[in-house]
Structures are given as C-alpha cells and as structure tokens.
Amino acid sequence: MATGVLCCRLPARVPKIIVRPPEKMNVFSGLIFLLTCQATGIPTPTVHWYRNGKQIPRNNSRFSILTSFDLLVTMARPPDTGLYSCEVVNNQGVDMASSFVTVRDYTSGCADKKTEGLHNYKNIHACKGKWEGHVKRARWLCAKGWSVCNPKDAEAIKKITWADIYDLHGCYAYNAANHKGKCTRCHKENMAGIGRNCRRLRYSKSSCLAKGRIDVYHPRKTRGCSYMAGYTTGVLCCKRKRVKSVRPKCEHSCQNGGVCVGFNRCKCLPDYKGANCQNPICEPRCPVTAICIQPGKCQCKPGYTGRYCKRKHDCHMPCFNGGRCKKGKCVCPPTHWGHSCQHLHRHILLSYLNRTER
C-alpha cells in the first residue's frame, strides 16, 4: 500500500516587464494613446496602473487595462498629463516601469481646423481641399502661419514614415518645384505627394525631395505641379518658422539722416561721418585754420580770413577813435576805452559838456 505521494515544486519566475512604455510621450487632446507594459513571470503576474502615484480604477470609462497589460486612454485631455507607472506582481516579486505623458491642446495647421492626417507631427499636417492652378496656390487651405510644404521643408517630409503614409487615406500634394516654379527635379508627368491613394509609389528611388516618397501620377501632356480633379485629396501644410525681428537700438539718435543699423551703430549718408553722423564732410578737406560746418563748406577759425583762411586778422574788431591794433587787441588812446576804443571816458565827457555850457 502507498503511504503518500511525491510532490514536485512548480516552476517559478520573478515577473519582468519585457516591453516597457516610452520614458516620455507627447499627446494632443482628443486623441488616443497607448502605454505598453507587457510582462512575463510564473505564476502569471497581475498588473496595476498608477497616475501620479494613485491607482487607476478599472471602471474608468476612458482608461482601459488590456489583457496584454497595456493601458489604453481615449479622448485625452490636458488634465491627463502626469507620470504613469505600471506595476506587475506575482508571489515571486515585483517589477515597475514609468512614462511621463504630456497632453496639450491640439493646434491644426489647416484653415478649417480639421487635420486629416499626421496629427502626431508638430510642423506638418494633411489638409483636405481643392485649388486652382499650381499647388503653391493652395496656401489658403493652410492655417495662418502655415503654407504648402516646399523644398525648404524637405527635412520634415523625410521624417514621415511609410506607416504614416498608409494610415493617411487619400493623396496630399506638396510643392516640389525647385527652379522658378517648375518641377525640375520631378518627372514631368508627376506631382509630389503622400498618401495610400496616390498613384505611384517609389520605395527606393528618390522622388522629388525625399527618397522613398510618393508621386501623384498625372497623364502625359499635363502640368506636373498643377491641380487635376480626381488625383489629389488636399495638400500638405508646413508650419513656417518665425523669424524674430530685433530692432537696432542706438542710445544717441543718428543725426543728419543717419539710420541705426546695430547696437549704437549708425549708417551715415555719404556727406556725413562720426558715431552719430554728426560731422559733415568737406571735399577737398578744410585747411587747419578752418572747420567744416556743412558738406562742402568751410568756415575760418577765429583770427583768420580769406578764401583759404590763410590771411590773419590783425584784430577781431576794427579799432576806432585813434586806437591801434597790437597783438590782436586794440590799444586805445587815453580818451577812449572798449574792445574797439568805442567808448569815451566819463571825465572827458563831463569836461566837454561843461565847455559847451559856458
């Protein structure tokens, strides 16, 4: 008779998260986001999700914990911003992973505020609509501060993945003209664009601006950059870079028509010079005995006269009443005084008046 059984220990393994959520995630409001937290372990671990340290309840209508342990959030809102942590637990141990999610209000690059695709791209959006003529004329389909993508946006276009392209229903054109409005780098019958419904896929060859993009197919004898009904759904709009205009500042204003072009730097008219354009220029230059008072006009310094300011003044003012000029000054006779000997001494005047009264 058997007296008992042999018991074998079941295999056990500490839980381990094998697919972790990204460290950071940026999401636009109104969209869906998924945080991964796939784990292994024996026995099968259970998962708990937390936001900012508080456990997310399973009965929340917008937050769903999937059987794969991933967290699905629908209709994201700015208050959903925070640190999300997943915790996997079994009787052997615990493993955790975290991701910081930022939810911000969505700003559409389309004039009608209805972005048709590429929502996750900050600087490039797909906008639905029609236009007339060259694709660059479709700018009115883009929001203010945005315009139809062109060769200047090649780097942004290259970042679009094939997964993004196949998720984009329709065909959205962009301006690949590289020389005076002509598609010189595209095939003559093609217009550049992206979307799963574009007529020609180019996986390996260069297509206008970026390798592996898509061309909108046009029949022969048509303008490759112009709109044709039935071939395009809309356009790609790219956000224009803002260039801050810094107004130059001059602490002392520029004179005589000068313009401030930098910090304390004036650009003068041809007839003036100096830090503030305060000095006129005389050509030919004034002699050392003169100064330039306006463009092309010299004025003699005190003590000089003549056309070339070479002749010296004996005295600034003429000497009257017998006065004589000596060393630039008037030497007056005993009867008079003043710079020009123009005043009669008082005692002489009284004596003269007394004589006339007799």
pLDDT in tens, 194-251: 888 776 655 554 444 444 444 454 444 445 567 767 778 889 999 988 766 567 788 8
Cα atoms found within 13 Å of the Cα of residue 19, Cβ hemisphere only: 9
Distance of alpha carbon 95 from alpha carbon 86, whole angstroms:
8
Rg, Å, the chain Cα set: 45
Residue 221 has a pLDDT of: 46
Instruction: Say if residue 47's pLDDT is above 90.
Output: yes
Residue 201 has a pLDDT of: 58
Residue 181 has a pLDDT of: 46
Q: What percent of the chain has pLDDT over 90?
A: 28
Confidence label for 191 from pLDDT (cuts 50, 70 and 90): low
Distance of alpha carbon 260 from alpha carbon 252, whole angstroms:
10
pLDDT digits (tens, 9 = 90+) for 88-138: 999 999 999 999 999 987 788 899 888 888 877 888 999 999 888 888 888
Distance of alpha carbon 28 from alpha carbon 25, whole angstroms:
10
Instruction: Say if residue 29's pLDDT is above 50.
Output: yes
List residues bridging with 34 in a β-sheet.
72
Place of tokens 């005389």: 282
The more confident residue out of 280 and 167 is: 280
pLDDT digits (tens, 9 = 90+) for 303-330: 777 777 877 666 777 788 888 877 677 8
Residue 204 has a pLDDT of: 52
Which of 12-26, 154-168, 221-235, 266-280 is the least confident region? 221-235
The more confident residue out of 311 and 185 is: 311
Cβ–Cβ < 8 Å for 148, 142? yes
Q: Among 190, 173, 183, which residue's Cα sits nearest to residue 238?
A: 173
